[in-house]
Chains A and B, each alone.
Chain A
């Protein structure tokens, strides 16, 4: 091997050792050729929903998820929602509340009353997109940085089968 590396080849009339060609080959390989002829710059942006929604059981502590104190059939659950438009333009949307339960059989008859800000809403109850759920919809229009507070009450029927009920709320595109 040593003999081979010390061997010389004739290039343009001059004797060049094979060793020199090996070094040149290594240099070209490690240069990691790229197509760019400038440096590369990057910009990163976190895109969040323009509307921020929170829920509360006492109208003062606002969270994303909450577990209410257990209730009995015939009792009324009161929950509060707070919505703010963080975007720099007005936004119209559809405020939705979907109700499901742990035995997948919610119907509008599970409630004797549902109100939004004191206005009866039980007549607007309809089946949800998922079987065994129900849904309530309403429009919301908020200017930039405007907030909206809502009080929702739901009275369970006396004979509602015991289970765990989940109220899921969000704002959809109109």
Chain B
């Protein structure tokens, strides 16, 4: 009789333990959620290559410059990033915003973005995309959109370049480095 009672009690204990919901955790569970979007490359008042010929293309940040930087006609202005440290990039839309003004009502800005290796912005390793916007005259934010398929074979040492020019027209442009001249990347 005692054995039967003991067996019944053990059975009840086992059922109790199982229904207690044994879990591996000995604390509550916490969660943090963050939405991650594509990077933003800002025209920046820095000189990542040294000297003063080329301006910076800051990754998610910029250094504001009080006075605009200028270019005339086909003499382009280059904005160059630090080394990117990546080997590929997803298919994306590149929205190029340029805060600018010109001295001619028929102004037109050609923008091109590409990778370079080393310090020479004329040695393009891989073109990403390009486009034009106009007329550019009064100070405003002018926008160009272009797309690129997935980019592979990128050398982590490569830098991103934003080149601004105006073909053959001898027009003077001022580009403002106040956070509005930038490239916003969104996934396609």
Contact = CB atoms under 8 A, between A and B. Distances in A.
Interface string B146-182: 0000000000000000000000000000000000000
Interface in A91-149: 91, 93, 112
B186 A162 contact: yes
A64 B35 contact: no
A77 B85 CA distance: 19
B26 A165 contact: no
Interface-central residue, B25, B59, B90, B187, by most chain A CB under 10 Å = B25
B60 A74 contact: yes
Nearest to A171: B27
B27 A93 contact: yes
Given A49-B28, A54-B30, A93-B27, A164 B60 contact: no
A77 B34 contact: yes
Contact of B27 (A66, A73, A83, A166): A83
Contact of B28 (A47, A53, A57, A79): A53
Contacts of A66: 30-33
Contacts of A158: 39, 59, 84-86
A164 B31 CA distance: 13
Given A159-B88, A165-B33, A172 B38 contact: no
Interface of A: 47, 49-55, 57, 63-75, 77, 79, 81, 83, 91, 93, 112, 156-173
Given A64-B30, A65-B30, A164-B35, 4 more contacts: A72-B36, A73-B37, A79-B32, A158-B59
Interface of B: 20, 24-40, 59-60, 84-86, 88-90, 185-187
